[in-house]
């Protein structure tokens, strides 16, 4: 049975990926900082899936948590990383606290590196990270998150060589309706409606759109060192 760790699997895209993998008969371990969120997600997943569901409380920005996660889980085929916390990052650079910026880098970039560092030798199939459209279409806000997202491509290119034959890729979503938007303090439905009119796909993304992209990258043994853009055509608008 294929086993996948999903860091960030308690909500949004990670939770959709967990549902998809379980429906295909795989086992999943979902990780995140909130034990309650993981427990609620696991309860839902156990109702619908066929495989086993495990939970591990871990902050991927903390090295001891990442090391313990791999100690507990041991050998695993795939790791998918969807974790990010956007609290306080929306707005012009002059308004963003330096501590918030450091926390973004600690989670999205250094955390991604820590997963490779402690997962090496235990991950047998692939690592897939999540970046985002703002790395490729900056919007004058959220710039530190955009920088972290952009750097994930370089991290994946380097790790694809270092960890081979383990494959390392990145999914870069466009705007997707998930709980992360609730941290931004904006009218998300109005923003989504406005963007949908301009996107070639004529809609914003769903968590399942992104889950399917993860499944493609994880399952295709010839894809490594790649960024897969799943953004409804946002980059070409
Ligand atoms: N939604 C979009 O429009 C969009 C667009 C482009 C890119 N993205 C990227 O897509 C990814 C998935 O986001 P989402 O939209 O699915 O958001 P989400 O529903 O908020 O999911 C993020 C998950 O990450 C976990 N998390 C946050 N910080 C963590 C940490 N330090 N360690 C471990 N887990 C952590 C959260 O749980 P806890 O709080 O319990 O830890 C949460 O379950 C993110 O990397 C985001 O930057 C999203």
CATH of the domain at 110: 3.40.50.720
- 78 is a domain residue: yes
Statement: residue 125 has pLDDT above 90: yes
- 129 is a domain residue: yes
- 237 is a domain residue: no
Please name which of 202, 129, 197 lies closest in space to residue 168, comparing C-alpha atoms. 129
Q: How many CA atoms lie within 13 A of 183 on its CB side?
A: 12
Q: How many CA atoms lie within 13 A of 57 on its CB side?
A: 7
Q: Which class for 188: exposed (0-12), middle (13-18), buried (19 or more C-beta within 10 A)?
A: middle
Name the token pair of 105.
Answer: 């880098």
Residues 144 and 118: beta-carbon distance below 8 Å: no
The model's pLDDT over 42-99, given as tens digits with 9 standing for 90+, comes to 999 998 768 899 999 999 999 999 999 999 999 999 999 999 998 999 899 999 999 9
Tell me the residue range of the domain where 108 lies: 3-229
Let me know the angle formed at the C-alpha of 203 by 137 and 85, rounded to the nearest 5 degrees: 55
- 236 is a domain residue: no
Q: What separation in Å is there between the alpha carbon of 216 and the centre of ligand 1?
A: 20
The model's pLDDT over 69-83, given as tens digits with 9 standing for 90+, comes to 999 999 999 999 999
Protein residue whose Cα sits closest to atom 41 of ligand 1: 33
For the Cβ of 130 lying below 6 angstroms from any atom of ligand 1, the answer is: yes
For the Cβ of 107 lying below 6 angstroms from any atom of ligand 1, the answer is: yes
- 17 is a domain residue: yes
- 103 is a domain residue: yes
Distance CA(19)–CA(26), nearest Å, equals 10
pLDDT range class, residue 14, cuts 50, 70, 90: very high
If one counts the domains in the chain, the total is 1
């Amino acid at each position: 049975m294929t086993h996948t760790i999903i860091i960030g699997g308690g909500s949004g895209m990670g939770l959709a990926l967990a549902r998809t993998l379980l429906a295909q008969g795989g086992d999943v371990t979902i990780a995140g900082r909130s034990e309650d969120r993981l427990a609620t997600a696991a309860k839902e997943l156990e109702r619908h899936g066929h495989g086993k569901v495990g939970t591990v409380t871990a902050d991927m920005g903390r090295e001891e948590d990442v090391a313990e996660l791999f100690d507990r889980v041991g050998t695993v085929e795939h790791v998918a990383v969807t974790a990010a916390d956007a609290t306080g990052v929306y707005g012009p650079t002059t308004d963003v606290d330096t501590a918030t910026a450091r926390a973004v880098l600690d989670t999205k970039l250094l955390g991604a590196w820590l997963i490779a560092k402690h997962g090496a030798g235990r991950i047998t199939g692939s690592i897939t990270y999540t970046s985002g459209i703002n790395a490729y279409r900056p919007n004058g806000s959220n710039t530190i998150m955009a920088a972290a997202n952009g750097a994930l491509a370089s991290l994946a290119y380097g790790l694809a060589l270092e960890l081979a034959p383990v494959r390392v890729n990145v999914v870069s979503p466009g705007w997707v309706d998930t709980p992360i938007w609730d941290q931004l303090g904006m009218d998300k439905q109005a923003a989504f409606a406005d963007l949908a009119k301009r996107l070639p796909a004529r809609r914003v993304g769903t968590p399942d759109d992104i889950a399917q992209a993860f499944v493609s990258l994880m399952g295709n043994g010839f894809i490594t060192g790649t960024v897969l853009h799943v953004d409804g055509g946002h980059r070409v608008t």
